Structure 1
Amino acid sequence: MSRQGANETTDLVRSPMRPVALSLCVLSAAMVVLSFISDGNAFSDSWWLVAFVLWLLLWGVLRSMTRGVAERPRAGLDERERVLRDQVSFVGYQCAVGAGMAVVLLMVVFQNQPDMIERMPALLTTLMLAASAVPSIILGMSGASVEDADADEDE
């Protein structure tokens, strides 16, 4: 039994979901920085646009890896998976609300600085993208994958 536990731990460490989830976090942080330092609107900044396309690709990969828990009908999930999905959804929702409020507060603080206000749409986009990815990132870090879901169905 201890040998099986060791194999499960090794599988989690070797899982490609963690590096993808961590890369998505790092790229989200880089996009926040790029939206602040861009000259004018970040949507016209090539570095931000490249990061955006890469972000979408990584998010798509991570979503496909975690869809076993994230997208399966409620009846197909066991109790632990339902609790996990509900928790990560709640955390993602709270991050989205917090990100929106942060942008509103920044707009109030910098209302007399048009160059800063011009950066807010890209910042809001970046923060909303990051908030939408939070559930997938948490699932990716926890190791809940499609393979785990398929293995449970076979048993």
Structure 2
Amino acid sequence: MQQRRSSWRSRSPRRAVALLWALGLVGLVLGALLGDSSELGSGWSVCYGLWVAVWLVLRAATRGVTERPPSQLDERELKIHDRFLSLGYYTALVGCALVVVHLQVISHVDPTGVAQSSQLLLITLGLAGSVPTVAFAWTAPDEDPEDFEVG
């Protein structure tokens, strides 16, 4: 059981899932910018849900190190947590600034484009929450099997 669990948590599967997450991100942004902005569209919402599901798989593969409270982490995990959490913070700042610029531009061009901006804001929120996990999943080395031995 432990061998099977650690194999899907190794670097190659994590990177494959991280690439799937990135492709989902590109698809969501293109769907929001190029799709019909008069409605939020159930297709886009389903894609967003799948994108979040991919993030949850990555979260499980990385044991939620970047999301757990600091009190539940050891010293090594705490350093990882702090390093990648700051990445999420800066992603949120930049993403929200881009959405504000988009709102300013779109309000002059097409006042009905607010739905488009709400989609971009949802993407930004998901991006800020998941970037720490995705970055850690991409850069973390394979786990040492000796860490899982009991006794």
TM-score by length of 2: 0.78
SS at match of 2:40: helix
The within-5 A match list for 1:59-138 is: 59-67=55-63, 69-70=65-66, 71=68, 73-74=70-71, 76-79=73-76, 81-112=77-108, 113-138=110-135
Offset of residue 65 of structure 1: 1.1
Q: 1:124 to 1:68 in 2, by over 3 A?
A: closer
CA distance, structure 2, for counterparts of residue 69 and residue 153 of structure 1: 20
Amino acid in the other structure paired with 1:107: L
Asked if the contact 2:17–2:54 (Cα under 8 Å) also holds between the matched residues in 1, the reply is yes
Asked if the contact 1:18–1:141 (Cα under 8 Å) also holds between the matched residues in 2, the reply is yes
Q: 1:148 to 1:134 in 2, by over 3 A?
A: farther
SS at match of 2:37: coil
Q: 1:117 to 1:76 in 2, by over 3 A?
A: closer
Q: 1:7 aligns to what?
A: none
Aligned length: 141
Structure 2: where are the runs of 5+ without partners?
1-8
Offset of residue 144 of structure 1: 5.7
Amino acid in the other structure paired with 2:55: W
| Percent identical | 27
Offset of residue 41 of structure 1: 4.3
SS at match of 1:43: coil
Q: 2:32 aligns to what?
A: 35
SS at match of 2:128: helix
TM-score by length of 1: 0.76
Structure 1, 19-28 or 66-75: larger mean CA deviation:
66-75
Q: Over residues 76-128 of structure 1, what are the superposed CA-to-partner deviations in whole Å (9 max), with x where a residue is unaligned? A: 4234x322211110010110111111111111122121233331001110122
Q: Over residues 4-42 of structure 1, what are the superposed CA-to-partner deviations in whole Å (9 max), with x where a residue is unaligned? A: xxxxxxx955x3111111111111111011011111245
Amino acid in the other structure paired with 1:67: R
Structure 1: where are the runs of 5+ without partners?
1-10
Q: Choose between structure 1 and 2: higher helix proportion.
A: 1
Offset of residue 131 of structure 1: 1.8
